[in-house]
Copies of this chain bind each other. A is one copy, B any other.
Amino acid sequence: MAVTIKDVARAANTSATTVSRVINNQCYSISQETIDRVHQAVRELNYHPNARARDFARQSTRTVLWLCSLRPNAAFENPHMFEILSGAESILTGKGYRLLVRNADTTSVTAIVEEAYASQEVDGLLIHASVVSRPLSAMLTRTRFPHVVLGKPDFESQMCWIDINNVLSGDIAANHLLEEGYKKIAFIGGRESDRISSHRLDGVRQALAASAHPLQEQFIWLGESTPQEGKRMAEGLFAMADRPDAVICANNSLALGCVEAIGRLGLRIPRDVGVMTFDNYPYANMMNPPLTVVDIDVYDMGVQAGRTLLQMIGKKNQQVQTYTTTSNLIVRASTRRERRKS
């Protein structure tokens, strides 16, 4: 039916081996003339090597399996995941790898990986941190199967992971406010179990501790990550006798409520209060005024994860546990204090 390597060999008046060598660019010992003949035959017959036969003969798939939650609303609740995916895809495709995508959760993941490993269906794994489990961790470190976890697992493990440096992001946020002249900086964040929020708070605390204006404990409010809670906490914050002059919100949802509360209190942003948050999405740049953010380049995190995984597939060493540091300060009206001209 379809044209095979033999057809090309016949047309080019040579052997399948030679054709194979030419199309795989192993031409150290093939005459230019033969090479040309093969290329011409390939073109004339419109030959495309059968991918399945290739994978089989090579005993390698050049395929990577991506695992994350794909339940309804996943894309709306966690678009970051797909942004990381996009970054990874660019690297993998660039290096001739395919990317298989599959739904998983913490209970199903082990069986899926077990199967993918044993059936030699893929050469490596990219796994979102939200679906890893301890049994999976044990299995991966035992088999030394190439993998990169996207995000830091919430338990100790020997797995290879890559995460964003949220502590650094908090540090950047705090320093920006200090530079703009704000002195009484507050933090509105998620619950303590919210690791992202906690890390951002750590960074803020550490930056301010190193300044003349350490973070005051009564300026730290934590709650659910909803606009309602953000509003409630901001109201609490500004009901105090000693008010802050700037607020760092741990995420967009909290910021949305916080800004609303500030508006209702008749305070002006950025003159009376500076406000900033993290991630340029989905609300920060739509708000009024647009918010200064420390933006996180998650696409780039995917790129790095892809590169790392390919390295691991190449030479089977592991131990990559890194924070990538691709935060990016975007200054907008919400922290641009009108300063006296110098």
Q: Which residues of A pack against B, CB within 8 Å?
A: 2, 46, 48-53, 55-56, 59, 61, 66, 70-76, 79-83, 85-87, 89-90, 93, 98-103, 115, 118-121, 227, 253, 256, 260, 281-283, 286, 288, 299
In the assembled complex, the CB of A240 is this many whole angstroms from the nearest CB of chain B, namely 24
Between-chain CB contacts (< 8 Å), 24 pairs: A2-B118, A48-B119, A50-B120, A52-B52, A52-B55, A52-B59, A52-B61, A52-B121, A53-B56, A55-B56, A66-B101, A72-B86, A72-B87, A72-B299, A75-B75, A75-B79, A75-B80, A75-B85, A76-B281, A89-B101, A99-B100, A253-B286, A260-B288, A283-B283
**Which residues of B are found within 8 Å of A71, using beta-carbon distances?**
86
Partner of A55, one of B49, B55, B115: B55
Each complex incorporates copies of this chain amounting to 2
In the assembled complex, the CB of A101 is this many whole angstroms from the nearest CB of chain B, namely 5
Given contact pairs A51-B119, A282-B282, a sample of 18 additional A-B residue pairs in the complex whose CB atoms are under 8 Å apart: A2-B118, A48-B118, A66-B101, A70-B86, A72-B87, A73-B299, A74-B82, A74-B83, A75-B75, A75-B80, A79-B79, A89-B102, A89-B103, A90-B103, A93-B102, A98-B100, A101-B101, A256-B286
In the assembled complex, the CB of A120 is this many whole angstroms from the nearest CB of chain B, namely 6
**Which residues of B are found within 8 Å of A288, using beta-carbon distances?**
260
**Which residues of B are found within 8 Å of A59, using beta-carbon distances?**
52
CA distance A128 to B102 in the complex (A): 18
Beta-carbon contact of A49 and B119 below 8 Å: yes
In the complex where A79-B76, A98-B100, A227-B286 touch, is A70 in contact with B52 (Cβ < 8 A)? no
CA distance A333 to B281 in the complex (A): 25
**Which residues of B are found within 8 Å of A82, using beta-carbon distances?**
74-75, 79, 82
**Which residues of B are found within 8 Å of A253, using beta-carbon distances?**
286
**Which residues of B are found within 8 Å of A102, using beta-carbon distances?**
89, 93, 98-99
Beta-carbon contact of B118 and A52 below 8 Å: no
Beta-carbon contact of B86 and A103 below 8 Å: yes
**Which residues of B are found within 8 Å of A2, using beta-carbon distances?**
118, 120
**Which residues of B are found within 8 Å of A98, using beta-carbon distances?**
100, 102, 121
**Which residues of B are found within 8 Å of A53, using beta-carbon distances?**
56
CA distance A256 to B286 in the complex (A): 9
In the assembled complex, the CB of A262 is this many whole angstroms from the nearest CB of chain B, namely 14
Instruction: Pick from A46, A79, A260 the residue with the most CB of B within 10 Å.
Output: A79
Beta-carbon contact of A101 and B118 below 8 Å: no
CA distance A256 to B256 in the complex (A): 12
**Which residues of B are found within 8 Å of A256, using beta-carbon distances?**
286
CA distance A161 to B227 in the complex (A): 38
Beta-carbon contact of A56 and B52 below 8 Å: yes
